[in-house]
């Protein structure tokens, strides 16, 4: 991790804001350069497989933005987003049980920017954000960059544990700290792939409501289910206590950088002001390309195509894990992009990464997804981008590395070689709470 | 101005960050709705005249992004921006005397987002930003949104007054406050249209250097000169003490939302991290469209076309002001988008605006461009968007309103009608420092 507060070589050292100390290079970021070498099988990134998109319809949408719609697409727009696109976003969200008004939707520069703006609107230094442990790496980065403190709640194979949530809220408040959000990715979570059950959605919303805590529901993957759909969005149950974040990055293309938030009215007003201050208006061009695509393409059919693509890759990964790493534990996602692998004690996924890259396979170390240093035994394995054969080969290479590590540990151990612990598959290991 | 801290009707009132109190709706924002009515001549907005763009080349660039370049354009990209575009940005900046490395350039979501990210990186609550008085409205909004305090330095027709700058630095520091930036728009300033002379650029950089103050040079309009080019950019004189902000919004199209910063190395590193936290990466699609346009179009010729378009409009505005409002004072910009009008004492441009809109003309009240309530006698008149005939008609309508106000003031005055003060044209009135 690079030093970000500056050094004596930086003449502006000492001029930065306090919050800048919290802005560090993520472990995922450092991997981008590595993962882009063609000989490496990257199971590290979260890049969607955009080659599966309908070339001609994307072309037509781009052309429309540059011709008939150019007067709007090339110009500054509203800080809230193009009205027609906001209507279409309501249609997308209706698939997950959400109903609302176009007036409550704010278009942002990817849902990432909605996260950033909400952090800016809500976080004073020292404020606490409760999140699943593990959680999305760049959400943790954003919260830290506004001097927020992320406190994790353990999960199991049904998602965040409600009883642990209650205890965490109590403990944080007893320590005199203010809780600003409960941040959750309820469907096919990043990085675990786990989905929060219906019963827990209801229970967690009730806990948040009675505790007066705003819920940030981040849902990039909900429509990418491989079997049945996940339970309805939490926003479909509670419109006043939830800010919901959606995106076109996974169902269409991340390069357009268009996401959105739907928020309670007063928060929505502030979001628009914050959006205007930050970027004046989100890209009209990108919004028009997407709006034209949604108007002309069978976008629901395209989401089905993506489901088929990713299901095949998920199956390739799970199969390869069974074949090559039968003694490890991993999650079995029913949608999304990620599998979460747990290795035996004493293995360290971050320390192991350079050896993995030498074996031409990359992953994201588990520590990236915790604010507290946890996750050393874990890694996130992405099945979204490589073809199934490459996924299989990647897991094979990974097994070479892990088995080599285990052998090495055994050799150097004062005692007998570490036993490979028998673990039950399909069950997410409990995380230190 | 709407209440932004919330009310009792907002259940999340009291949950917002302290900084959110500083995030208010700008006066420009409230005008967007009004100005969009077709019967209103809007001299209020800063929308470039994108209809002057070469339709076929934009179309071709968009098509390339959606076809041959789709694998990059539709995907996540680098948080620093597309390498080829960063090379092209160096070619654009070379026109204003700036030389640097592609490694020092960071692509942002419009230069507005570079401003936001720099404010985030540098401003602690109470930190001071020194800026011209008046200055760009949404820069003031951004600085306030991070609890910065904007202190204005008066300008005259040569731009910011160096002696006043020295005194301001001394006064602010004597009050125990930290100065984080000197924010300046040296060429065809927004809102005055005034250009900082070469001698003053050198002198102000020297003041900043000896005072240890970082300069933010914001230069959206420098290439849009109507007679000779403005003096070289301040960044061309000092690469270590200046962060320079550029944009394609005025020379190409704002709807793509692509701007950039070129910054000293250590600041550049932090800017990339902040950019990644905020939006992961700027839009690959927009960047590829622009890169393809620059590779295939006579973009320098197109900037000449824009100069011709805006010169004609500037002339129409100056001519109409001479004809219809001969007793007022205004600036005579040699480039850019704006004229700054000063009315006699006792007139209030903000209070007058509803009457102006009733007469079907809109402008931006001068108070929008000051952090301290100054500017009531002033208004910003934009000549960038309406056709010359409309500009002339807009100024005619404005004269009706102003003359009506003056007559009214005379009638209701206890003393004799207010004399219209004889003022020298071409000289920017001194601002209260």
Long-range contacts: A28-31, Cβ < 8 Å, 24+? A28/A137, A28/A138, A28/A364, A28/A368, A29/B79, A29/B276, A31/A362, A31/A364
Helix A388-412, helix A299-324: angle, nearest 10: 30
The answer to whether the CB atoms of A29 and B276 lie below 8 A apart is yes
Model confidence at A414: pLDDT above 80? no
Average pLDDT across chain A, whole number? 92
Domain A71-296: state its class: alpha beta
The domain spans of chain B are: 21-52+302-410, 62-296
d(CA A213, CA A180): 6
A215: nearest CA partner in chain B: B12
Which residue, among A81, A383, A134, has the nearest Cα to A246 in the 3D structure? A81
Report which of residues A408 and A235 the model is more confident about. A235
CA A39 to chain B, closest CA, distance in angstroms equals 18
pLDDT of residue B1: 38
Locate the DSSP E strands across A277-377: 329-330, 338-342, 361-362, 364-365
What are A175-215's pLDDT values in tens digits? 999 999 999 999 999 999 999 999 999 999 999 999 999 99
| Closest Cα in chain A, distance from residue B278 (Å) | 5
| Geometric angle at alpha carbon A251, from A248 and A257, rounded to 5° | 25
Nearest-by-CA chain A residue for B272: A25
Size of interface A-B (CB pairs under 8 A): 275
Using a CB-CB distance cutoff of 8 angstroms, which residues of chain A are in contact with residue B63? 59, 62-63, 66
pLDDT one-digit tens code per residue, A332-362: 999 999 999 999 999 999 999 999 999 999 9
Tokens of A366: 């588990």
- CB–CB contact A62 B58 (8 Å): no
Tell me if residue A141 falls in helix, strand or coil: helix
Give, in words, the CATH class of B62-296: alpha beta
Domain A18-52+302-409 CATH (choose: 3.90.1150.10, 3.30.360.10, 2.30.30.60, 3.40.190.10) = 3.90.1150.10
Give the CATH number of domain B21-52+302-410.
Answer: 3.90.1150.10
pLDDT at B31: 59
Q: What is the pLDDT along chain B (433 residues), one digit of tens a residue?
A: 344 444 558 889 899 999 998 787 765 566 557 666 889 999 998 999 999 999 999 999 999 999 999 999 999 999 999 999 999 999 999 999 999 999 999 999 999 999 999 999 999 999 999 999 999 999 999 999 999 999 999 999 999 999 999 999 999 999 999 999 999 999 999 999 999 999 999 999 999 999 999 999 999 999 999 999 999 999 999 999 999 999 999 999 999 999 999 999 999 999 999 999 999 999 999 999 999 999 999 999 999 999 999 999 999 999 999 999 999 999 999 999 999 999 999 999 999 999 999 999 999 999 999 999 999 999 999 999 999 999 999 999 999 999 999 998 887 665 554 444 444 433 333 332 2
ipTM: 0.92
| pLDDT value at residue A3 | 42
Indicate the DSSP class of residue B229.
P
Average pLDDT over residues A116-126: 98
Q: Residue A285: pLDDT band by 50, 70, 90 thresholds?
A: very high
CA distance A25 to A364: 14
- Structure-token pair, residue A207: 């806990």
> b/e map of A137-173 (b: 16 or more CB within 10 Å)?
bbbbbbbbbbbbbbbbbbbbeebbbbebbbebbeebe
* A238-253 core/surface letters (b: 16 or more CB in 10 A; e: else): bbebbbbbbbbbbbbb
Residue in the block written with tokens 């600036």: B331
Which residues, 6 or more positions from B307, have their beta carbon under 8 angstroms from its beta carbon?
B224, B225, B226, B335
Q: For residue B414, what pLDDT is reported?
A: 52
Q: Which residues on B lie below 8 Å from A6 (Cβ)? A: 266, 270
List, as one string, the DSSP characters of B209-228: HHHT-EEEEE-SSTT-BSSS
């Amino acid at each position: 991790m690079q030093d970000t507060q500056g050094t004596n070589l930086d003449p502006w050292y000492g001029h930065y804001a306090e919050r800048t100390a919290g802005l560090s290079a993520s472990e995922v970021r450092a991997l981008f350069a590595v993962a882009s070498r063609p000989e490496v099988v990257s199971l590290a990134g979260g890049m969607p497989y955009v080659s599966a998109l309908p070339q001609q319809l994307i072309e037509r949408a781009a052309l429309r933005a540059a011709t008939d719609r150019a007067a709007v697409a090339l110009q500054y727009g509203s800080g809230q987003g193009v009205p027609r696109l906001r209507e279409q976003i309501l249609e997308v969200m209706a698939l997950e049980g959400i109903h609302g008004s176009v007036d409550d939707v704010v278009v942002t520069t990817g849902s990432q920017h909605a996260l950033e703006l909400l952090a800016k609107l809500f976080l004073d230094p020292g404020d606490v954000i409760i999140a699943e442990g593990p959680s999305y790496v760049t959400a943790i980065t954003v919260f830290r960059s506004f001097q927020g403190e992320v406190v994790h709640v353990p999960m199991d194979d049904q998602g965040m544990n409600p009883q642990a949530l209650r205890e965490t809220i109590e403990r944080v408040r007893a320590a005199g700290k203010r809780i600003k959000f409960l941040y959750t990715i309820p469907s096919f979570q990043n990085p675990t792939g786990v989905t929060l059950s219906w019963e827990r959605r209801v229970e967690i919303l009730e806990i948040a409501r009675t505790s007066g805590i705003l819920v940030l529901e981040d849902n990039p993957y909900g429509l990418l289910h491989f079997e049945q759909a996940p339970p309805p969005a939490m926003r479909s149950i509670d419109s006043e206590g939830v800010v919901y974040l959606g995106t076109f990055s996974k169902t269409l293309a991340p390069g357009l950088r268009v996401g959105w938030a739907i928020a309670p009215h007063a928060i929505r007003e502030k979001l628009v002001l914050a959006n205007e201050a930050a970027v004046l208006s989100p890209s009209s061009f990108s919004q028009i390309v997407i709006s034209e695509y949604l108007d002309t393409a069978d976008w629901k059919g395209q989401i089905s195509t993506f489901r088929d693509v990713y299901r095949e890759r998920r199956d390739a990964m799970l199969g390869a894990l069974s074949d090559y790493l039968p003694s490890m534990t991993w999650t079995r996602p029913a949608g999304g992009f990620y599998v979460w692998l747990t290795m035996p004690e004493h293995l360290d996924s971050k320390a192991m990464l350079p050896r993995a890259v030498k074996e031409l396979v990359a992953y994201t170390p588990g520590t990236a997804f915790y604010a507290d240093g946890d996750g050393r035994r874990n890694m996130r394995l992405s099945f979204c981008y490589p073809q199934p054969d490459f996924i299989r080969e990647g897991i094979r290479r990974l097994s070479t590395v892990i088995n080599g590590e285990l052998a090495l540990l055994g050799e150097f151990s004062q005692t007998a070689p570490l036993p490979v612990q028998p673990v039950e598959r399909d069950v997410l290991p409990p995380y230190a709470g």
